[in-house]
Chain A
Amino acid sequence: GAGVSQSPSNKVTEKGKDVELRCDPISGHTALYWYRQSLGQGLEFLIYFQGNSAPDKSGLPSDRFSAERTGGSVSTLTIQRTQQEDSAVYLCASSPFWDRPKLYEQYFGPGTRLTVT
């Protein structure tokens, strides 16, 4: 079946511009996660959604970052007033969460490579 998809695959933006990154999870997966992979910080967790519930935003690196999930499916990560340190690969993962035996397994998308110039 279809895996996690992300768009765009690559995004180059000028410093100060806003960007939106999209994630389509695997159909039926209730949990959705955003991670960031950068040279300096490695792989770090950003935010988690369970269904339509309001997320805990404490993992987001700054208030310029926000995320939403519509209809318990597609998620958008928005970065406002981008900075050069935002350059990274943004990875989305989804999980069936309660579906044994694959309890808690997370399936990753191909990522969006963001470059801020």
Chain B
Amino acid sequence: AQKITQTQPGMFVQEKEAVTLDCTYDTSDQSYGLFWYKQPSSGEMIFLIYQGSYDEQNATEGRYSLNFQKARKSANLVISASQLGDSAMYFCAMREPYYNQGGKLIFGQGTELSVKP
């Protein structure tokens, strides 16, 4: 069965420094997608970045990049130049194949990031 593991319940980072949030996954499918979402205290899930299993290059979106290591089944999120507004809960998620409930998302337990001034 598909599974997402985030081993860091909480992380601290100094403002303007880079931080890496870990995510490993387990799947027997060849086609899948990996997402990172940010959930601030307001509760809304904000899409950050997506990596497809067949994408050869690591995804980047502004200050966010996804370090995709397929053989190790890891999809770590790197946030460069942390800002105070980055303090939030971060979820790694894997998309099931589309024929399984329309590609439903399986989420990890989340990592709470706190950015220190």
Q: Which residues of A contact B (CB under 8 A)?
A: 31, 33, 35, 42-45, 48-50, 56, 59, 89, 91, 93, 95, 97, 104-111, 113
Contacts and interface: CB of A to CB of B under 8 A. Distances in A.
Contacts, number: 60
A97 B102 contact: yes
Q: Is the interface of A mostly helix, strand, loop or mixed?
A: strand
B104 A45 contact: yes
Interface string B84-117: 0000000101010010011111111110000000
Given A31-B102, A42-B109, A59-B101, A108 B44 contact: yes
A59 B103 contact: no
Interface string B62-99: 00000000000000000000000000000101010010
Contacts of A35: 105
B45 interface: yes
A33 B101 CA distance: 9
B45 A108 contact: yes
B103 A104 contact: yes
Contact of B50 (A31, A56, A59, A105): A105
B102 A50 contact: yes
A54 to B, nearest CB: 13
B44 A48 contact: no
Contacts of B45: 91, 93, 108, 111
Given A42-B107, A45-B106, A104-B95, A109 B101 contact: no
A110 B44 contact: yes
